[in-house]
Structure 1
Amino acid sequence: MRAGNGAGGGRGHDVTRRHQLLRVHGRSVAWVPPLLLLAGIAVADFNTTGEFRIVSWIVLVPGIAAAICGVRGTALFAVLALVTYVGVDSAWPHQYQTGLPDFILVAVGGVLATLACAVRVRGERRMLHMRDVAETIRRTMLRPLPPGWGGLDHAAAYLTADVEARVGGDFYDIQPGPHGTRVLVGDVQGKGLGAVETAAALLGTFRECAYHEPDLATVADRLETRMSRHAGHVAALGRPDGDRFATAVLLGFPAHAPGTVESVVFGHEPPLVVGPAGVRPLPPGDGLPLGLAELAGNPGPPPVHRSRIAPGETVLLTTDGVTEARDATGTFFPLADEVARALATDPRLAEPRLLVAFVRDGTLRHCGGVLADDTTVFAVRPVREQAG
Structure 2
Amino acid sequence: MSPGSAGHGLHDRYPSAGRYGVVHRYEMLRVGGRSVAWVPPLLLLTAITVADYNTTGEFRIISWIVLVPGIAAALCGVWATAVFAVLAVAAYVTVDNAWPHQFQTGLPDFILVTVGGVLATLACAVRVRDERRALHMRDVTDTVRRTVLRPLPPGWGGLEHAGVYLTADTQARVGGDFYDIQPGPHGTRVLVGDVQGKGLGAVETAAVLLGTFREAGYHEPDLKVVAERLEIRMGRHRDYVRALGRDDGDRFATAVLLGFPADRTDVVDAVVFGHEPPLAVGPDGVRLLPAGTGLPLGYRDLAPGPPRVRRLPLAAGETLLLVTDGVTEARDGDGRFYRLRDDVTRAVAADPRVVAPAPLVAVVRDGTLRHSGGLLADDTTVFAVRRTRPERGEGREGGRSVS
Using structure 1 for the length normalisation, give the TM-score: 0.96
Residues 1:156 and 2:163 are matched in the alignment: yes
Task: State the AA in 2 paired with 1:84.
Answer: A
Matches within 5 A, 1:1-388: 1-5=1-5, 6=7, 15-16=22-23, 18-296=25-303, 299-384=304-389
Q: 1:385 to 1:351 in 2, by over 3 A?
A: farther
Q: Provide Cα deviations, 1:170-191, integer angstroms capped at 9, x if missing partner.
A: 0000000000000000000000
Instruction: Work out whether residues 31 and 73 of structure 1, in 8 Å CA contact, stay in contact via their aligned partners in 2.
Output: yes
SS state of the match for residue 16, structure 1?
coil
Structure 2 unaligned residues grouped into runs of 5+: 9-14, 393-403
Instruction: Work out whether residues 26 and 74 of structure 2, in 8 Å CA contact, stay in contact via their aligned partners in 1.
Output: no
SS state of the match for residue 306, structure 1?
strand
Instruction: Work out whether residues 22 and 138 of structure 2, in 8 Å CA contact, stay in contact via their aligned partners in 1.
Output: no
Separation (CA, whole Å) in 1 of partners of 2:198 and 2:307: 26
Task: State the AA in 1 paired with 2:351.
Answer: D
Count of aligned pairs:
383
Q: 1:178 to 1:326 in 2, by over 3 A?
A: same
Q: 1:17 to 1:90 in 2, by over 3 A?
A: closer
Displacement of 1:32 in angstroms is: 1.2
Q: Provide Cα deviations, 1:15-68, integer angstroms capped at 9, x if missing partner.
A: 516444322333222111111111110000011100100000000000000001
Separation (CA, whole Å) in 2 of partners of 1:338 and 1:25: 41
Separation (CA, whole Å) in 1 of partners of 2:20 and 2:361: 24
Instruction: Work out whether residues 318 and 376 of structure 1, in 8 Å CA contact, stay in contact via their aligned partners in 2.
Output: yes
Task: State the AA in 2 paired with 1:371.
Answer: L
Using structure 2 for the length normalisation, give the TM-score: 0.92
Separation (CA, whole Å) in 2 of partners of 1:310 and 1:256: 15
Q: 1:385 to 1:261 in 2, by over 3 A?
A: farther
Instruction: Work out whether residues 180 and 255 of structure 1, in 8 Å CA contact, stay in contact via their aligned partners in 2.
Output: yes
Displacement of 1:285 in angstroms is: 1.5
Separation (CA, whole Å) in 2 of partners of 1:84 and 1:304: 79
Q: Which moved more, 1:31-40 or 1:175-184?
A: 31-40
Instruction: Work out whether residues 22 and 30 of structure 1, in 8 Å CA contact, stay in contact via their aligned partners in 2.
Output: yes
Aligned-residue Cα RMSD (Å) equals: 1.7
SS state of the match for residue 335, structure 2?
coil
Separation (CA, whole Å) in 1 of partners of 2:137 and 2:246: 24
Task: State the AA in 1 paired with 2:282.
Answer: G
Separation (CA, whole Å) in 1 of partners of 2:150 and 2:289: 26
SS state of the match for residue 91, structure 2?
helix
Instruction: Work out whether residues 313 and 386 of structure 1, in 8 Å CA contact, stay in contact via their aligned partners in 2.
Output: no
Displacement of 1:140 in angstroms is: 0.8
Q: Provide Cα deviations, 1:160-215, integer angstroms capped at 9, x if missing partner.
A: 00111111000000000000000000000000000000000000000000000000
Structure 1 unaligned residues grouped into runs of 5+: none
Displacement of 1:83 in angstroms is: 1.0
Separation (CA, whole Å) in 2 of partners of 1:248 and 1:331: 24
Separation (CA, whole Å) in 2 of partners of 1:156 and 1:337: 20
* Percent of aligned pairs with the same amino acid: 74
Displacement of 1:255 in angstroms is: 0.5
